Amino acid sequence: MIILGRPKGDPKKEHYYREAKKQGYRARSAFKLKQIARKHRLLKGVRIVVDLCSSPGGWTQVLREIDHDLEIIAVDLSPMAPIENVRFIQGDITKEETLQEIERFSRGVADLVISDCSPKVSGNWQLDVARQLSLAEATLDIGFRLLGANGKVLAKVFQGPDFQEFMKRTKERFSSVRLIKPDASRKTSAEIYLLAIGPRRTASE
Ligand SMILES: C[S@@+](CC[C@H](N)C(=O)[O-])C[C@H]1O[C@@H](n2cnc3c(N)ncnc32)[C@H](O)[C@@H]1O
């Protein structure tokens, strides 16, 4: 069965959950970013990163750990305990006012936008997948607005009914698009990570 949230059973027995506790990460998802960053050289040439849907902060911890000099702007609906030299915005990534605040901190530019967004699970599979897809769309829009020519977006997506259409739109907007399933992502989970590089802009954009 394909699942969206946490699997049933005792999460304490799960390998990455235990490792996260042991290594001081706030979330097991830290290992997904670690694996993607290593394999796809995600942070090569990157100076400014926007970490969307960042709470509780596992991915932000990994960014800081990999590169102490990165400028990091983290955003979430929920609060997040501080991390050294990270600017945190509590806000909704789908709202223009949040985007304006990101632009104020980043001076309107970024090299990398990452997002690990999950909506509050309602229990209605179709609705949850549709909501997650709109968070992934919002991520791509933010990336399109902030990134330079070689900029990258890494976004979590749940593979549901509108996934192929979403892929088609993303390929029209970015020069390179690939899908990544890191080892730390459960095989039974519908989640996959999309890495899009190089916004295709017309002269007017
Ligand atoms: C799986 S958690 C992210 C985990 C994080 N990457 C980490 O490593 O700690 C998903 C997050 O998405 C956030 N979220 C969902 N909808 C959002 C929205 N519209 N704007 C901002 N954050 C949102 C939730 O508050 C939640 O903290």
CATH code of the domain in which 47 resides: 3.40.50.150
Residue 92 lies in a domain: yes
Q: Is the pLDDT confidence value at 6 over 90? A: no
Q: From the candidates 95, 156, 181, 187, which is the catalytic residue? A: 156
pTM above 0.85, yes or no: yes
The reply to whether 156 belongs to the active site is: yes
Residue 165 lies in a domain: yes
Ligand 1 pocket residue status of 191, Cβ below 6 Å? no
Q: DSSP class of residue 155?
A: E
Q: Is the pLDDT confidence value at 122 over 60? A: yes
Distance CA 9, CA 153 (A): 33
Residue 6 lies in a domain: no
Residue 3 lies in a domain: no
Total of domains in the chain: 1
> Which is it for the CA torsion 169, 183, 115, 153, positive or negative?
negative
Residue 2 lies in a domain: no
92-103 pLDDT tens trace: 999 999 999 999
Backbone angles phi, psi at 110, to 5 degrees: -150, 155
142-199 pLDDT tens trace: 999 999 999 999 999 999 999 999 999 999 999 999 999 999 999 888 899 999 999 9
Ligand 1 pocket residue status of 60, Cβ below 6 Å? no
Does residue 162 sit in helix, strand or coil? coil
Give one DSSP letter per residue of 68-126, joined into a string.
Answer: TT-EEEEEESS-----TTEEEEES-TTSHHHHHHHHHHHTT-EEEEEE---PPP-S-HH
Residue 193 lies in a domain: yes
- Kindly state the average pLDDT of the residues 25-41: 97
Domain containing 126 equals 11-199
- Kindly state the average pLDDT of the residues 56-74: 98
Residue 178 lies in a domain: yes
- Which residue has tokens 């001081």? 24
Residue 1 lies in a domain: no
* Cis amide leading into 56 (omega within 30): yes
Q: How many CB atoms lie within 10 A of CB 170?
A: 20
